[in-house]
Amino acid sequence: MAEEFAVRMVNITKTFGHVTANDKVYLELRKGEILSLLGENGSGKTTLMNMLSGIYFPDSGQIYIDGREVTIASPHDAYRLGIGMVHQHFKLVDVLTAAENIALGLPGGAVVDRKAIAARVRQICDRYGFDVDPDKKIYDMSVSEKQTLEIVKTLYRGAEILILDEPTAVLTPQETEKLFAVMRNMRADGKSIIIITHKLNEVLEISDRVTVLRKGEYIGDMDTAKADVRALTDMMVGRTVTLNIQRDAPADPQRRLEIRNLTVKDKDGVTRLDDINLDVYAGEILGVAGVSGCGQKELLEAIAGLQPAVSGSSIKYRPTGPEGPAEEMLGLGPRAVSDRGIRLAFVPEDRLGMGLVASMNIAGNMMLKEYRSGKSPLVERRRPYDMARDIVRELEVVTPSIETPVRRLSGGNVQKVLVGREIAMHPTVLMSAYAVRGLDINTSYTIYRLLNEQKKAGVAVIYVGEDLDVLLQLCDRIAVLCGGRLNDIVDGRTATKEQVGYLMTNLNKEAGV
């Protein structure tokens, strides 16, 4: 009897330190089907697939390929079993051609036989409807071309089971259509495909079945024919969990930031933020929700003066409310912003690589934004030490001493140092990106408390988050980004998890109009 399942993953558990990324997860992939692996950010989808492709090794559980139990200890093992994965970050060497990237690391004769490679690439392309020029250099390729090449590469190496990690995140709708057409061709040819995604419409459009993970746990699977958006959203976000985060009504909210027509393009000219119009009020917490890479980073960095914007964009700062004077912040750069007395606090996503100097001690990091103050050519020594001591005491930072380099502190203590410093500057605007990512419960609550105190003190707080429960119970309003556009702004007190989840994954047709 022919085995029905190409892949069966049974009882898979994987922990990183104290974090359980996958907890007794099941996954079944039938031969010749497209399976969607659905879940929010941090639900453990990529971790699970990395174990199938040999990047990680599971702590416990079994993997069966074609009904046979296997051990997958390296990407090499995965290839031998016919498993190929296309990662979100492409693994391609820029200065080599497509054919050379395909040949990289493969056994074979002394000479790279370009003709033979090209011929086989063409064969694969013709069979599934790809379009790859074997002689094109990677640096000349668009994102979608690179992705196509990655898929061809896995097929070239004989993959029967393909894993695509959020392939559509970087594609235009037209390119997505093309990718789906190719996927259907591959399915018709008997390949089995897993597509990681959190876009519900795509799940319904392309896949035969869907498996849902939530917070590292297996929730269930169903045939897409029987699924609808509502049911999938419920499975994905789950029931609302009460967190008991304190939330006071904003007292006298005043408009402090006016973001108008904000459009940001990255180095490659791809639009990361598309015509954002948003007001930020003093005395409230504005949440920003969205699946990762939808423009959250660019939004905060544009406000911080680190991200150049397309002309016509504007961010106005009103220190004394809507009637008071306004100052254009865009294009100033962080130094000029602080020189004008705008106290802008920013807790970036990359704490050690951007918000702090990893090799310096706590006191040294206290100076980062204020070392310039005063006329003396010397840095002030006493104040940062006092500040460091205050923060260590008040926020209960666990550290051998304030002389310890911050890179040797644990994640939660690093974040306390960073948030503590930003609050100590008495900001008028406080931005935070994924402020509680990777932190334990107690530290997370400390952060929520601090943000609430700032709100009460009349600071305009922006909270970019990924956990919908937190967003809905901490924030006064929630701006939902989707694909670089502002999809909607909802009231944090009345909105439901399903509503926000839907807005994150389905671009409102009227958005931005």
As given in the structure block, the two tokens for residue 435 are 């402020």
Q: Is residue 88 within 8 Å of residue 169, measured between CB atoms?
A: yes
Residue whose pair of structure tokens reads 């692996």 in the numeric block: 37
Nearer to another protein, 287 or 348 (CB): 348
Nearer to another protein, 32 or 75 (CB): 75
Q: How near is the Cβ of 155 to another protein at its closest, in Å?
A: 15
Nearer to another protein, 129 or 139 (CB): 139
As given in the structure block, the two tokens for residue 493 are 């007190």
Q: Is residue 436 within 8 Å of residue 411, measured between CB atoms?
A: no
Q: What are phi and psi of 325, to 5 degrees?
A: -70, 155
Q: How near is the Cβ of 157 to another protein at its closest, in Å?
A: 10
Q: How near is the Cβ of 311 to another protein at its closest, in Å?
A: 21
Nearer to another protein, 372 or 449 (CB): 372
Q: How near is the Cβ of 92 to another protein at its closest, in Å?
A: 7
Nearer to another protein, 17 or 269 (CB): 17
Nearer to another protein, 337 or 500 (CB): 337
Helices 411-424 + 382-394 axis angle, to 10: 120
Nearer to another protein, 48 or 474 (CB): 48
Q: Is residue 481 within 8 Å of residue 294, measured between CB atoms?
A: yes
Nearer to another protein, 269 or 377 (CB): 377
Angle of CA points 337, 340, 342, to nearest 5° = 65
As given in the structure block, the two tokens for residue 121 are 């690439």
Quote the CA–CA distance of 7 and 133 in Å, as a whole number: 32
Q: Is residue 11 within 8 Å of residue 27, measured between CB atoms?
A: no
Q: How near is the Cβ of 290 to another protein at its closest, in Å?
A: 22
Q: How near is the Cβ of 499 to another protein at its closest, in Å?
A: 34
Q: Is residue 121 within 8 Å of residue 132, measured between CB atoms?
A: yes
H-type alpha helices, 211-252: 229-237
DSSP string for residues in 290-350: -STTSSHHHHHHHHHT-S---BTBEEEE-TT-TTS--EE-TTS-HHHHHHTT--EEEE-S-
Can you tell me whether residue 131 is helix, strand or coil?
A: coil
Residue 266 is classified by DSSP as -
Q: How near is the Cβ of 218 to another protein at its closest, in Å?
A: 21
Instruction: Using CB under 8 A, list all residues that contact another protein.
Output: 14, 16-17, 55-57, 59, 71, 73-77, 91-96, 100, 103-106, 108-112, 137, 139, 304, 306, 333-338, 346, 348, 350, 353-360, 364, 367-369, 371-372, 377-379, 381, 405, 408
Q: How near is the Cβ of 353 to another protein at its closest, in Å?
A: 6
As given in the structure block, the two tokens for residue 36 are 């969607």
Nearer to another protein, 163 or 500 (CB): 163
Q: How near is the Cβ of 322 to another protein at its closest, in Å?
A: 28
